[in-house]
Structures are given as structure tokens and as C-alpha cells.
């Protein structure tokens, strides 16, 4: 299910739509469309295990993990098209709204640094025991996957119950995402947002 709205977006409107199970994307004109698909890609936080191909990077110990140190840099990096064929689904109004949510404590970033340089990261929205993953980026091999791995550790350590990944694609499936029905997702969302959970490194 999808509907649209004007290009301007407030943090309050954005958070309200997340509570109802919707997430935004901007089309090529800048108009924001709201998505609530029949099948939802999610991650089971408690059963997550990193792929064998990632473990050598995780063990390299040549990176530093931080959260919420430079949210704006992360979301701006995520907004850039990956290649000439990749559209820009994140417009300036959405970026401003997410930054507003970050200042209010509802949006967070996981950041990967090498020698004090930001080389990868991700951001998303936190409501109760649900984390809505939005986007990730990397400028070095596996940096975004390392950020994802540490996101899962943070969510597990702080007793989150679900990570939403929106649509299933080759990348999210490779990381371990599965599909559940819209009804199952909305039921989990309804219960999950009532919980009190904190997004913090442990």
C-alpha cells in the first residue's frame, strides 16, 4: 500500500507514520510516497549471526564503532546515489525531518571509523522495542556490514524485539532478513512500541 504527500515533512508527521507502519521514500520529482507493503522484511535479532565472509573484517580490530557522534554526516552520505542508475530516494525535507528526530532522541546512527575518518555507517528510527532500519553507506569494503553487525549487537543487548528492513532485496536477504506478513508486522509493531528500550552501546 502506498500513498503520497507534499514534499515538506515534519519530524512529528514522520514519527506518526512510523507508528502506523509506514515509511517514506521520495520519487524523482521530490514528492514523498508512504509505503506499507503486504510483506515486510525484518531481522530476528536473537538468531542473528554474522556471515563467515564478514568475520575476518570483524576480527581485524582496525576500526572504531561509535553511535550518534555524527548523525548528519551519516544520513547525508546515505542520501547520495550509489551509481548512475541509482535514484535519490531521500530528499532534503526527509533529511531535515530525520535530523529533527535525532535531536529528539528517536533517530540514531551507527558509525564506523578508521583513523578518525568516517568510512561507513547506517541510521534508523527507534520506537519502543522496534528499530526501523533506513539506509547504510560505506566508502571502504565491508564498512556498512560492520555497522550492521554492531547495530544487531546493540539491539540484542538492549532487548529490542525487531529490526524492520522494509523491502526484501538481495542485500538484506544476504544479511539475514526474512519476510513476514503485513498483519504480523503490524501486530508486532503495536506491541513493540509500548516497550521502553534504550539505544546505547554496552
Q: Is the model's pLDDT at 99 over the cut of 80?
A: yes
**Grid cell locating 141:** 569494503
Q: How confident is the model at residue 82 (pLDDT cuts 50, 70, 90)?
A: low
Residue that the C-alpha cell 525531518 belongs to: 97
Give the percent of the chain with pLDDT over 90.
Answer: 80
Task: Please give the angle made by the CA atoms of 31, 36 and 38, to the nearest 5 degrees.
Answer: 135
Question: Residue 1: what pLDDT?
Answer: 57
Average pLDDT over residues 94-120: 97
Q: DSSP code of 141? A: T
Per the CB < 8 A criterion, the answer to whether 102 and 71 are in contact is yes
The three cell numbers locating residue 183: 498483519
pTM passes above 0.95: no
- Give 3-6 contacts, CB < 8 A, sequence gap 24+: 3/33, 3/34, 4/31, 4/32, 4/33, 4/34, 5/31, 5/32, 5/34, 6/31, 6/32
pLDDT in tens, 26-62: 988 889 999 999 999 999 999 999 988 888 888 877 8
Please report which confidence band the pLDDT of residue 9 belongs to, taking 50, 70 and 90 as the band edges. very high
Interatomic CA distance for residues 81 and 96, integer angstroms: 18
Which triple of cell numbers denotes residue 106? 528517536
Amino acid at each position: 500500500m502506498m500513498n503520497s504527500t507534499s514534499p515538506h515533512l515534519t519530524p512529528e508527521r514522520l514519527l506518526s507514520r512510523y507508528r502506523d507502519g509506514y515509511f517514506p521514500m521520495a520519487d524523482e520529482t521530490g514528492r514523498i510516497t508512504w509505503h506499507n507493503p503486504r510483506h515486510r522484511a525484518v531481522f530476528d535479532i536473537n538468531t542473528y549471526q554474522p556471515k563467515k565472509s564478514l568475520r575476518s573484517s570483524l576480527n581485524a580490530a582496525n576500526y572504531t564503532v561509535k553511535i550518534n557522534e555524527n548523525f548528519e554526516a551519516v544520513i547525508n552520505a546515505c542520501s547520495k546515489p550509489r551509481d548512475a542508475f541509482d535514484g535519490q530516494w531521500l530528499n532534503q525535507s526527509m533529511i531535515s525531518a530525520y535530523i529533527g528526530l535525532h535531536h529528539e532522541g528517536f533517530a540514531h546512527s551507527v558509525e564506523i571509523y578508521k583513523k578518525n575518518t568516517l568510512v561507513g555507517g547506517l541510521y534508523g528510527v527507534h520506537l519502543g522495542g522496534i528499530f526501523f532500519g533506513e539506509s547504510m553507506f560505506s566508502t571502504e569494503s565491508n564498512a556498512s556490514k560492520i555497522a550492521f553487525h554492531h547495530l544487531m549487537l546493540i539491539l540484542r543487548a538492549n532487548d529490542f524485539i525487531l529490526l524492520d528492513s522494509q523491502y526484501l532485496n538481495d542485500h538484506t536477504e544476504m544479511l539475514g532478513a526474512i519476510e513476514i506478513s503485513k498483519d504480523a508486522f503490524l501486530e508486532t509493531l503495536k506491541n513493540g512500541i509500548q516497550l521502553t528500550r534504550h539505544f546505547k552501546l554496552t
